[in-house]
Amino acid sequence: MWKKLFPTLLLLFSGSICAQAQADAQTDAQPDKIALVLKDARPLIVDEVFESRDGYWYKRGNVTTFLDRERVVRIEYPNPVEAAPASGPVEGTIKWRLAEAAKIQDFFEAKFKRKLPTTAFGQSDLHTRWGLDHRNGMDVGLHPDSVEGRALIQFLRQESIPFLVFRGPVSGVATGPHIHIGNRSPRVSGR
């Protein structure tokens, strides 16, 4: 009986050691993650966070969950690997056009196996109200310091595609954290 049972036990034991090693590796990778600091609880480590009027949607793996606003004390984003370059926009005189957006969308989908979270593609009603000419710009709803945001910024730099980063709201310019792809949107005259 032991001759038949021993290989099974050995397999189970080695499997648990591998699982523990993977868990330890994930714990070591925590600096790339976002921490939701909760009231009366340990910080919740997540991949992404989206703020809504009533609270926060967070993503862990392929699961998205909602948290009421009053449960969250603060959100701690990872420090960017290269704080100075990532905080400054890459502006240029490059004539980037919205028609070239497929290149960026294809990169993101290939790397992250999901669609690029585009929040504005060209001119939107909000940009019109703010008097911005956003016809050749697109906004991506990623925090620039998130894992996906940093990968996108690195790709934009490699491809010499102009962009701006917003880590929070800017009155009359940005409603929240996002990456603006394209040259700066000029103000429409008369505004």
Domain with 10 in it: what CATH number? 2.30.30
Model confidence pLDDT, tens digit, residues 80-120 = 544 334 445 555 546 778 888 999 999 999 999 999 999 99
- Is residue 185 very low, low, confident or very high in pLDDT (cuts 50, 70, 90)? confident
Residue that finishes a domain, picked among 32, 57, 76: 76
Joined tokens for residue 156:
């934009």
The answer as to whether 57 is a domain residue is: yes
* Contact criterion met (CB below 8 Å) for 168 and 176: yes
The answer as to whether 171 is a domain residue is: yes
Q: Is the pLDDT of residue 155 over 90?
A: yes
Residues 63 and 90 in one domain: no
Residue that finishes a domain, picked among 76, 93, 123: 76
Maximum distance among all Cα pairs of the chain, rounded to whole angstroms: 88
The angle subtended at Cα 172 by Cα 140 and Cα 66, nearest 5°, is 50
Expressed as residue numbers, the domain containing 71 is 2-76
Q: Output the pTM of the full model.
A: 0.54
Of 25-34, 126-135, 158-167, the one with minimum mean pLDDT is 25-34
Residue that finishes a domain, picked among 15, 46, 76: 76
The answer as to whether 187 is a domain residue is: no
